[in-house]
Amino acid sequence: QNVSVEVLDHLEHLALVDFRDSEGVERLQKAIQFADQLHEVNTDGVEPMDSVLEDRCLYLREDDVTEGNCTKELLENAREKVEEYFVAPPGNIPLPKLEERDTFLQGS
Amino acid sequence: LAPWIPVVGLEIHAQISSNSKLFSGSQVQFAAPPNSLVSFFDASLPGTLPVLNRRCVEAAVMTGLALNCSINKKSLFDRKHYFYADLPAGYQITQQRVPIAVNGSLSYSLYIDKKMSQMVTKTVRIKQIQLEQDSGKSLHDDTRCQTLVDLNRAGVGLMEVVMEPDMCCGEEAAAAVRELQLILQTLGSSQAVMAEGQLRVDANVSVHHPGEPYGVRTEVKNINSIRFLAKAVDYEIQRQIEELENGGTILNETRAFDSKLGCTVPMRDKEGKQDYRFMPEPNLPPLILYDAKSLPANMNHQQVINIDWIHERLPDLPSVKREKLVEQYGILPEHSFTLSNEDGLAEFFESVVKQTQMKPKKVIGWILNDLLSYLKQHSLTVKESPVSSFLLADLLNLLEKKEISSTAAKQVFVELWKGEGKTPLEIVKEQKLELLQDQKELEQICQAVIDGQENE
């Protein structure tokens, strides 16, 4: 059972991944098949588990100021900065539509 | 033409009043040098983990209790994914599946008509309250085609209060938000000042004909004051009605309120339905809260939050305070409402009542008709009033003892307003406003007037 082009396009938009070629898509299909094996287990009436650590205690921190004040250090990571601001493009640059992208998915 | 029923729901984000952020130890403060209140976790540097702030949980529990919610003893954290420059992690930690509080209600009052003669009480259901992170701030520099990002606000704790679509117009939405604001300020869980972004409201608006299913709703954002909230909601209702009556359709979109033009416009960057790919936050186990019955015996009490303990320490809510004013002073509910709606006015009123023999029912007239209207005319807060409660009480005592007439008292009040430091008695003497009590003196004056008339 193949994943449709619409879903692949949607995934590329959401996660900004590039499946690049048929091998990439094939790997995705195999991963889905592998995960689908979970459906073979009957889980009626069983509470879903998020993590094996779900019984651990969630640590609560006191409301004290213990961090911050490291502007210079943080800005060292910035490719571009203006005074003490990070610089970003004016808005999200949307991934071009499928027809306009140079992607292997077009051929599908 | 068939009538339209407008439906209004609200999503309100209240910044939690705390020293440090929800999941990190950097400071929470308005207006600081850019990126100075940012920890490595807030900047989403690899290898950092969220650590929950106890104070933020207590704030959410207090707010849930004040809004009659059921507090979930076990709530969960999730990741909500979307890309934006002020969200460095690419996701926000929120509570989508099981939030901390659900199924509450908020009662609010509003005037039944424009004449402001009588009040009516309405209720809006609270769907849920959830804890979540705030994002950083984007400053758009259109000339240089770039956005400047300040992460000081990134990671600050928020309580999102979701109100069911039980409201029908701008006035109701505004009254509900005002009451929520007063409750949050009374609890201290949020300072809820809209102008500083501590209280942000998004409105969901739709219209439909009676008996038909709900219409398509739009989301209205960028509302910066309670007054604008009422305007934005009413404008959007009208826009939708006109669009539908002209045969058009309503798009399920997000619109921004333009306060200068007084209208809503579609927002860019929000086209198309978002897919947030919710997933459990893998770095945080469930949040467990306790009550008196379930309190664990041998746990470090700093790690335990007891809902009953918090419940016992809740302060009097605004509605209770208003009832107490009515009971104690015999004033009308409408008066009590106005008193509590204006910051510091109730305290001013009580202070005057303590210092004067005049009955509270008479004092209230001076507070609401004279003092408040002057304050409003000059755009002053109660704190900035040039007339102190001491001076006003002094004036009212003169009136009560019949040393001056009520007309004279109004004159003195105008003079006091100038704030020149004179006492009421000094003003009365200066302007010769004393009521004459001496019989002989009165007879002399009357005789002089009669004599004057005879000469004409």
Q: What residues of B are in contact with residue A84 (Cβ under 8 Å)?
A: 33-36
B406-426: average pLDDT: 86
Q: What residues of B are in contact with residue A67 (Cβ under 8 Å)?
A: 20, 24-26, 39-41
Distance between CA atoms of residues A104 and B377, nearest Å: 68
Task: Determine how β-strand B146-150 pairs with β-strand B137-141.
Answer: antiparallel
A57-68: average pLDDT: 96
Total-model pTM:
0.88
Of A51, A67, A90, nearest to B24 by CB-CB distance is: A67
What is the ipTM for the molecules in this complex? 0.84
Q: What is the pLDDT of residue A12?
A: 84
Q: What is the pLDDT of residue A101?
A: 73
A18-22, B4-8, B175-179: the lowest-pLDDT one: A18-22
- Residue-wise pLDDT tens digits, B352-411: 999 999 999 999 999 999 999 999 999 899 999 988 999 999 999 988 888 888 888 888
Q: A88 and B85 in contact by Cβ < 8 A?
A: yes
- Average pLDDT of chain B is 92
CA B63 to chain centre: 14
Q: Which of residues 256-275 of B touch A (CB under 8 A)?
A: 268-269, 275
Q: What is the pLDDT of residue B405?
A: 85
CB-based contact, B35 to chain A, within 8 Å: yes
Q: B285 and A60 in contact by Cβ < 8 A?
A: no
Distance between CA atoms of residues A52 and B8, nearest Å: 42
In contact, B103 and B67? CB cutoff 8 Å: no
CB-based contact, B317 to chain A, within 8 Å: no
Q: Strand ranges (DSSP E) for B242-355?
A: 254-258, 263-266, 279-280, 287-288
Q: What is the pLDDT of residue A107?
A: 58
Query: DSSP labels for A67-92?
Result: B---HHHHHTT-SSEETTEEEE-SS-
Residue for token pair 């939405």: B173
Q: What residues of A are in contact with residue B27 (Cβ under 8 Å)?
A: 65, 68
Q: HEC states along B210-238?
A: CCCCCCCCEEEEEECCHHHHHHHHHHHHH
Torsion, CA B260, CA B261, CA B264, CA B269, rounded to 10: -60
CA distance B51 to chain A (A): 7
Q: B146 and A92 in contact by Cβ < 8 A?
A: no
Of A14, A61, A66, nearest to B54 by CB-CB distance is: A61
Q: What residues of B are in contact with residue A58 (Cβ under 8 Å)?
A: 52, 284-288
CB-based contact, B19 to chain A, within 8 Å: yes
User: What percent of chain B stands above pLDDT 90?
Assistant: 73
B136-158: average pLDDT: 95
pLDDT band per the 50, 70, 90 thresholds, residue B96: very high
For chain A, which residues make up each domain, given as ranges?
1-40
Q: Is the pLDDT of residue A102 over 80?
A: no
Tokens of A103: 């992607």
Phi/psi region, residue B324 (left: phi>0; alpha: psi -120 to 50; beta: rest), is alpha
Please give the residue of chain B at the shortest CA–CA distance from A53.
B285
Q: B284 and A58 in contact by Cβ < 8 A?
A: yes
Burial status of residue B143 (CB atoms within 10 A of its CB: 0-12, 13-18, 19 or more): exposed
CA max distance for chain A: 58
- Mutual angle of helices B333-341 and B318-329, in 10-degree steps: 130
Q: What is the pLDDT of residue B428?
A: 83
pLDDT band per the 50, 70, 90 thresholds, residue B433: confident
- Residue-wise pLDDT tens digits, B233-272: 999 999 999 999 999 999 989 999 998 999 999 986 555 5
Burial status of residue B130 (CB atoms within 10 A of its CB: 0-12, 13-18, 19 or more): buried
Of A51, A87, A90, nearest to B282 by CB-CB distance is: A51
Shortest CA distance to B372 belongs to which of B405, B407, B343, B393?
A: B343
Of B53, B285, B302, nearest to A54 by CB-CB distance is: B285
**Coil, helix or strand for B277?**
coil
Q: B55 and A63 in contact by Cβ < 8 A?
A: yes
Q: Which residues of A touch B (CB under 8 A)?
A: 10, 14, 16, 50-51, 53-71, 74-75, 77, 82-92
CA distance A108 to chain B (A): 24
Q: A65 and B147 in contact by Cβ < 8 A?
A: no
Q: What is the pLDDT of residue B271?
A: 53
> Cβ atoms within 10 A of the Cβ of B208, count?
16
Q: A69 and B36 in contact by Cβ < 8 A?
A: yes
Burial status of residue B115 (CB atoms within 10 A of its CB: 0-12, 13-18, 19 or more): exposed
| DSSP category for residue B356 | -
Phi/psi region, residue B17 (left: phi>0; alpha: psi -120 to 50; beta: rest), is beta
B174-196: average pLDDT: 96
Distance between CA atoms of residues A105 and B193, nearest Å: 50
In contact, B49 and B41? CB cutoff 8 Å: yes
Q: What is the pLDDT of residue B25?
A: 98
Of B18, B39, B56, nearest to A68 by CB-CB distance is: B39
Pairs across A and B, CB distance < 8 A: 139
> Cβ atoms within 10 A of the Cβ of A29, count?
12
For chain B, which residues make up each domain, given as ranges?
5-289, 318-439
Shortest CA distance to B391 belongs to which of B371, B368, B364, B408?
A: B371
A51-55, B3-7, B78-82, B201-205: the lowest-pLDDT one: A51-55
CA distance B259 to chain A (A): 22
A76-85, B176-185, B210-219, B439-448: the lowest-pLDDT one: B439-448
Q: B36 and A88 in contact by Cβ < 8 A?
A: no
Higher model confidence: residue A107 or residue B316? B316
Higher model confidence: residue B73 or residue A9? B73
Residue for token pair 């949980």: B57
Q: Is the pLDDT of residue B202 over 90?
A: yes
Phi/psi region, residue B272 (left: phi>0; alpha: psi -120 to 50; beta: rest), is left
